[in-house]
Amino acid sequence: MMKLSVCIPVFNFDVRELVFELKREIKEQNINAEIILIDDASNHQFKTINNEVISEVNKFIFLEKNIGRSKIRNLFLDYTKGDYLLFLDCDGKIINPDFLSIYIEYLKNNTKTDVLYGGRIVAKTLLNKKYILRWKFATERENLSVNKRREKPYLSFQTNNFIIKKEIFAKVQFDPEFENYGYEDLLFAMDLKSEHITIDHIDNPIFNNDLENNEAYLKKVEESVESLAKMLKKHSLRPKISEIKLVSAYNFISKTYSNTFLLFLFSLIENTLKKNLLSDNPNLRNLDFYKLGLLLRKMK
């Protein structure tokens, strides 16, 4: 009987609701599954809150030092017993009472599936404009329908809600060099692609339960561009990430020797772009150019 390991990296978030919902379905549906949590050196406040679920999960490991987004996911290999690993972000919320059962049924009927992504959604309407930049990016660019995701299965992959065969994950892991937020999921997807491992997509989304405010999200954008620049500076990675839109734009600019001019233009309008992105009506094209300007600066 197939065994599923639910893997949840935890950092400064209350995971009680997520764990209790997973445990409910496992118990009611008699699912052969384990729940493994690894806390990446959260604040004492969240460790105390999450102590409530220690008795509800199979393992809850608390790290003394933060090791970052890639290493912590790789670490689950040491603690899991399942044939498949289901990775969930700690800030996700389950919205379908048969969430695990949908995955298991698909895997039973598609035994050749190595990697499976279920998607994510956010609220259809936004009540507070201070979260509008993250919400707008999610609704217009990120949270695609399953049919749209299948058109570009690697580029539309995210790590918030995916299943991978343990034997595949033992061969293809997250690059531990990239600890911070940004593009580590796409690099992982492209590593899978280079090994000819397909990513399947189904409609089994998780609700994104923790939108950042505009200022916090813009800082994460800046962090992600820094990660991407680090990848670009490793020439061995360039072919793998060439399909990423921001990388394609950077490569085109480099070929046309437009870097200096665009950097000058960016320096003139950077504050204007930032002002729009932090406003109540941000333009995502401004976000695109803001990212490109930051990347050009990092790559100078």
By DSSP bridging, strand 92-94 and strand 206-208 are antiparallel
- Note the pLDDT of residue 266: 96
Question: pLDDT digit of tens for each residue in the chain (300 aa)?
Answer: 899 999 999 999 999 999 999 999 999 999 999 999 999 999 999 999 999 999 999 999 999 999 999 999 999 999 999 999 999 999 999 999 999 999 999 999 999 999 999 999 999 988 899 999 999 999 999 999 999 999 999 999 999 999 999 999 999 999 998 877 889 999 999 999 999 999 999 999 999 877 899 999 999 999 999 999 999 999 889 999 999 999 999 999 999 888 999 999 999 999 999 999 999 999 999 999 999 999 999 998
Distant-in-sequence contacts of 227-234, Cβ < 8 A, 24+ apart: 227/178, 227/180, 227/181, 227/182, 227/183, 227/184, 228/182, 228/183, 228/295, 229/295, 229/298, 229/299, 230/177, 230/178, 231/178, 231/183, 231/187, 232/295, 232/299, 233/299
Which residue, among 122, 92, 123, 102, has the nearest Cα to 18 in the 3D structure? 92
CB 227 within 8 A of CB 183: yes
CATH number assigned to the domain covering 4-211? 3.90.550.10
Would you kindly state where each structural domain of the chain is located, as residue ranges?
Answer: 4-211, 216-298
